[in-house]
Amino acid sequence: MNRVVAHLLTRLYPRAWRERYGKEFEALLQDGRGDLRTSANVLWSALREYIFPTRGANMAQQINSFGSIIKRPSAFLPLAMSLTALTLVLVHITIFGAAREADEGTTAHLWQILMAGQMPVLAFFAIKWLPRAPKQTLCVLALQAGAVLASIAPVFYFNL
Amino acid sequence: MRSTRHVVEAENDTGPGHYSDPPLLVLASLASGPRHGHAMIEDIASLCGTRLGPGTLYGAIARLEQLGWIEPLPAEERRQPYRITAEGLHVLRAKLKTLQHFTKAGLRRLEAL
């Protein structure tokens, strides 16, 4: 089989599977027949791997990849809360201007709830994931910190 | 070991006389010594006339390795040989005995027709 086709067919499999079997599987495809039947067989098997993933051998390590950690609610919720808070501030500035108000309005209260509410989630995430996958967790924490800073920045910049 | 449902799904040669239970075929192929993927396909084809597709073969290999019935040996360039484990041999023996009983019973019934 053509090298490029073999590579593309191997790419159809989930990353965890590819990292374990990709190299040898690609070599097998290159050695074998390159007909439509083989391609259909690989396509079907790759689809099966998504539906009924093989969890074994070295693939358990992939559970702690950056991609899988960022999908955890405790990882993406703080990000979503910070971005929502940032959106609220920007919408408020767009509609009402950047002038400081005497009383805190609804927007300010929502912003405070969103920013304070994510702290326990952030702490939970750090406590749970730092010991398991330090490098990946630090990357996610850096993202979360960036989102927090981004949502705080306009408040301080405009002295709201 | 997978159920017979998988046999229907994964077989590549569905003509009469062909037998295709990929995990069992892989175990049977490795029973005579370590082999890499391509050699397994050829061996299985000569053993029972079924030519497994690469996806089907690696689906079986991955699951058998997960079950601890086969294990990888050091790679030979880009090829990865596998060998059957003691547990795999035990399972293969039991499966083949079951098949033997089944075959005998089935043939007896046919003779009675």
Residue B78 to residue A57, Cβ atoms within 8 A: no
Token representation of residue A135: 């490098």
Q: Does B40 touch chain A (CB under 8 A)?
A: no
Token representation of residue B91: 């399972």
Residue A57 to residue B54, Cβ atoms within 8 A: no
Residue A45 to residue B67, Cβ atoms within 8 A: no
10-residue stretch averages of pLDDT, chain A, 160 residues long: 86 88 90 85 89 63 69 89 90 79 77 91 88 84 91 82
Residue B55 to residue A23, Cβ atoms within 8 A: no
Q: What pLDDT tens digit does each residue of chain B (113 aa) get?
A: 444 444 434 444 455 566 778 999 999 999 999 999 999 999 999 988 888 999 999 999 999 998 889 999 888 888 889 999 999 999 999 999 999 999 999 999 998 88
Place of tokens 């599977």: A17
Residue B17 burial (10 A CB sphere; 0-12, 13-18, 19+): exposed
pTM: 0.56
| Contacts A17 to B, Cβ<8 Å | 62
pLDDT for position A95 = 83
| Contacts A25 to B, Cβ<8 Å | 37, 54, 58
Please report which helix (H) or strand (E) contains residue B82, including its range: strand B82-84
Token representation of residue B61: 């290999």
